[in-house]
Amino acid sequence: MNTTFRGKHFITCQDWSKGDLDMVFEVAKYLKMKHALNEPCDLLKNKTAFLMFFEESTRTRNSMEAGITQLGGHAHFLDTKTMQINHGEVGKDTAQVLSSFGDAICVRNCVYGEGNNYLRTLTKYASQPIISLQDDIYHPMQVLADMMTIQEKFGNPRKLKVAISWAYATSHAKPLSVPQSQLLMFARYGMDITVAHPKEFPLMPDIINTAYDNAEESGATIKFVDNMEEAFRDADIVIPKNWGGFLGVNNPHTAEGKAQMKENLDKYKDWICTEELMSITKKHSIYMHALPADRGREVVDSVIDGKHSIVIPEAENRLHTAKAIMALTMGGR
């Protein structure tokens, strides 16, 4: 396992080796133990992380803020609407200035077709690590917490049967980043993956191709189906969640594209995780969701609040994995 991480950008887990990721999980477990013991761990004393948010957040913002405080450092929350970005300041200038002030620049930018490009631009000019807090393609922080949770529950994830399923939601057109990051990560860890989605809600072809490459190396399997039942049957893990139909229309940024996405969405109101669906999974199966969940549309209350649900421990692991990433990239060696 690698032990040198200081200054390393974290845009997608795919850019990090499996040895890197295994070290992150080890550090997260260590920091979780310290947290349980209420033992101080000021690995980032006097360090500053800038947290730039183009969108709303509960878990990501607070796991980063609480996490760096617990490590002895400080986070500046930056709503990008109040930054000069709103007047057109370019990423090159923001990256150079903030990295001259502090020790990491952490960014959430999920604007479809823009977010990942913005983060990649920052990596070219920053002299400190750029840490993704989610973009339009990847949500690396979420999938670390997901994998840590799976490992805690099952041990070695190899050959576990996981269903990554689209689900209906009206709250907003959720990014593709969570299912795409899960597909890539699970394929690296040798899992048997079934992805279920209606035809108008595909994932990005490049991500799917990379996932197949990952699977070839690890012995994972990947199957795509067009219904939830097939994915849920005998699954150890189910992750039903909405993602927007950005790739199912010509241009999701136009009024016409948005209307078409809404029309496509409304055809699939019955894609909801119910107790009947959970009953065809394995007896010990777990229900996961990155949260926030669109209750009553993505999932019924009795499932998300029920015996299979692991969403709160999954969310708690956001804290421990975020601390591991910060400790390694902002501190470490």
Give the one residue of 3, 4, 58, 302 binding ligand CP; rule: CB under 6 A.
58
Q: Which of 176, 175, 179, 54 is CA-nearest to residue 107?
A: 54
- Per the listing, tokens 């894609």 go with 271
Six token digits for residue 84: 């000069």
Site string for ligand CP, 291-310 (x = CB under 6 A): xx------------------
In whole angstroms, how close is the CB of 314 to ligand CP at the nearest point? 9
Tell me: does residue 59 bind ligand CP (CB under 6 A): yes
Site string for ligand CP, 12-41 (x = CB under 6 A): ------------------------------
Tell me: does residue 210 bind ligand CP (CB under 6 A): no
In whole angstroms, how close is the CB of 140 to ligand CP at the nearest point? 11
Site string for ligand CP, 89-128 (x = CB under 6 A): ----------------------------------------
* Contact assessment for residue 244 and residue 198, using Cβ atoms and an 8 Å cutoff: no
CA–CA distance, 161 with 196 (Å, rounded to integer) = 13
Q: Which residue, 58 or 251, has its beta carbon nearer to ligand CP?
A: 58
Q: Which residue, 116 or 260, has its beta carbon nearer to ligand CP?
A: 116
In whole angstroms, how close is the CB of 242 to ligand CP at the nearest point? 13
Q: Phi, psi (5° rounding) for residue 163? A: -105, 115
Q: Which residue, 109 or 142, has its beta carbon nearer to ligand CP?
A: 142
DSSP helix, strand, coil percent of the chain (3-state; round to 5): 45, 15, 40
In whole angstroms, how close is the CB of 293 to ligand CP at the nearest point? 10
Residues 272-291 that bind ligand CP (CB under 6 A): 290-291
Sign of the C-alpha dihedral computed for residues 235, 293, 322 and 142 taken in this order: positive
Tell me: does residue 329 bind ligand CP (CB under 6 A): no
From edge to edge, which strands make up the β-sheet containing 161-166?
A: 221-225, 192-196, 161-166, 237-241, 286-287
Site string for ligand CP, 135-154 (x = CB under 6 A): -------x------------
Tell me: does residue 57 bind ligand CP (CB under 6 A): yes
CA distances 331 to 4, 48, 143, Å, are: 10, 11, 22
CA distances 11 to 26, 192, 195, 320, Å, are: 20, 25, 23, 18
Peptide bond into 198 cis (omega under 30): no
- By beta carbon distance, the residue nearest ligand CP is 60
Residues that bind ligand CP (CB under 6 A): 57-60, 134, 142, 290-292
